[in-house]
Structure 1
């Protein structure tokens, strides 16, 4: 069962569009799913759950498309990004990776 996003102000569709715009790819090429903060902490080696609470759910966005940073012309194969749906803040982004959070 996916983590709850009942208090989210940023929807999956909005996250998809933010990623597409920020990294210069088509929104249809961005996959967005819920990710528990515990799973994020485990994969990223962080301890946000201790500070933000373990009930927090994040948006995980991935794409196999070639993504481009906001500055520069270099394109990187693949993208993984994590947003806080409550604040809309980008917490993590890695270009040139198809590594998925589990």
Structure 2
């Protein structure tokens, strides 16, 4: 009778442990799924970040190329303006010389 009561208590404890194990397994499964989902989100965001970095680097390269081109065009414009100034001076000198010859 005492053994029977002890056996019943052990069976009850065993059932409680099994129920507790089932709850813990369910919690573990839920946490594992959440973990997988978070890993996928992180991976997706990393890909998105990589895409942004690539776009940013491309923009920087385009900006650098544009700055180089602007520098080149500025030099060419300066050369052209110096040439125009020189030709203007020559034209003015020639006109002055013609005026002197005509007089």
TM-score (norm 2): 0.18
Structure of larger gyration radius:
2
Q: Which has the higher contact order (CA 8 A, sep 6+)?
A: 1
More helix by share: 2
TM-score by length of 1: 0.18
